[in-house]
């Protein structure tokens, strides 16, 4: 499968030769990358207000001076970034148990050095596709919230009762309005929420 377009692979490793080798590998597979010499440098980038809008993933060395890979991972967890920026730890043999623990805590995977180029790129592409799915879901949720915000209070009342499965007559009785008014509000709700049926409306609202 082709890698996701417009994706960025962030590389955080204090070893310049490792960063360069990974950047070359990624270029050979048509993947963009950005290298950072340590946890402090990458954390400063995140603290500047970075918020992913395109698919991405992070190759993170476990052992680094200063802010270690584990400490940086904790910061990513705190910022709620590990879903949209899947983390693949780069680890030596001695750190494999630690990397396994990080996977249990939400890291995407780990690759033990020396790693297979093909296997690493495969996992990177899978991580990028996960990032793409998370971003798409968040965009869809934001769009739904914007549509919800356009509903009037009465339209919200009608929508709530439609979702509960009530027919128009009972909705009219509960809200003390005419059936015709219910029909008008129901049509407006369907139009604003961009659905064609009550079932579709229920399914849409489940994702909020």
CATH of the domain at 184: 1.10.10.10
Which of left, alpha, beta for 87 (phi over 0: left; psi -120 to 50: alpha)? beta
Reduced to 3 states (helix: H, G, I; strand: E, B; else coil), residue 2 is coil
The pLDDT assigned to 94 comes to 76
Query: What 3 state SS string does 82-96 have?
Result: CCCCCEEEEECHHHH
186 and 130 part of one domain: no
Looking at the DSSP assignment, which residues form a beta bridge with residue 89?
Answer: 60, 110
The C-alpha atoms of residue 65 and residue 82 are separated, in whole angstroms, by 22
Looking at the DSSP assignment, which residues form a beta bridge with residue 59?
Answer: 11, 88
Read off the pLDDT of residues 7-34 as tens digits, 9 standing for 90 and up: 999 999 999 999 999 999 999 999 999 9
In this structure, is residue 3 part of a structural domain? no
Average pLDDT, the chain: 91
User: What domain count does the chain have?
Assistant: 2
Q: Is the pTM of this model over 0.85?
A: no
Reply yes or no on whether the pLDDT at 3 is more than 70. Answer: no
The pLDDT assigned to 189 comes to 95
Reply yes or no on whether the pLDDT at 208 is more than 80. Answer: no
41 and 127 part of one domain: yes
For 21, the domain range is: 8-139
The C-alpha atoms of residue 36 and residue 189 are separated, in whole angstroms, by 49
Looking at the DSSP assignment, which residues form a beta bridge with residue 36?
Answer: 12
116 and 183 part of one domain: no
38 and 91 part of one domain: yes
Read off the pLDDT of residues 154-193 as tens digits, 9 standing for 90 and up: 999 999 999 999 999 999 999 999 999 999 999 999 999 9
85 and 25 part of one domain: yes
Scan for tokens 């739904």, then name that residue: 144
List the CATH number of the domain containing 51: 3.40.50.2300
Nearest to 18 by CA among 91, 72, 87: 91
């Amino acid at each position: 499968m082709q890698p996701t377009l417009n994706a960025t692979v962030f590389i955080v490793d204090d070893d310049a030769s490792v960063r360069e080798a990974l950047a070359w590998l990624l270029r050979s597979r048509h993947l963009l990358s950005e290298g950072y010499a340590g946890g402090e440098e990458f954390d400063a980038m995140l603290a500047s207000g970075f918020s992913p809008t395109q698919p991405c993933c992070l190759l993170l060395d476990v052992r680094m001076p200063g802010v270690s890979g584990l400490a940086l991972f904790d910061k990513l967890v705190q910022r709620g970034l590990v879903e949209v920026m899947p983390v693949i730890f780069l680890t030596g043999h001695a750190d494999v148990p630690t990397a396994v623990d990080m996977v249990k805590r939400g890291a995407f995977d780990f690759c033990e050095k020396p790693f297979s180029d093909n296997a690493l790129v495969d996992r990177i592409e899978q991580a990028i596709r996960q990032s793409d799915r998370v971003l798409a879901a968040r965009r869809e949720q934001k769009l739904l919230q914007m549509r919800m915000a356009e509903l009037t209070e009465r339209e919200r009342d009608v929508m709530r009762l439609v979702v509960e499965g009530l027919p128009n007559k009972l909705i009219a009785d509960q809200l003390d309005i005419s059936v015709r008014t219910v029909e008008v509000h129901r049509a407006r709700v369907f139009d604003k929420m961009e659905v064609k049926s009550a079932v579709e409306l229920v399914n849409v609202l489940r994702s909020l």
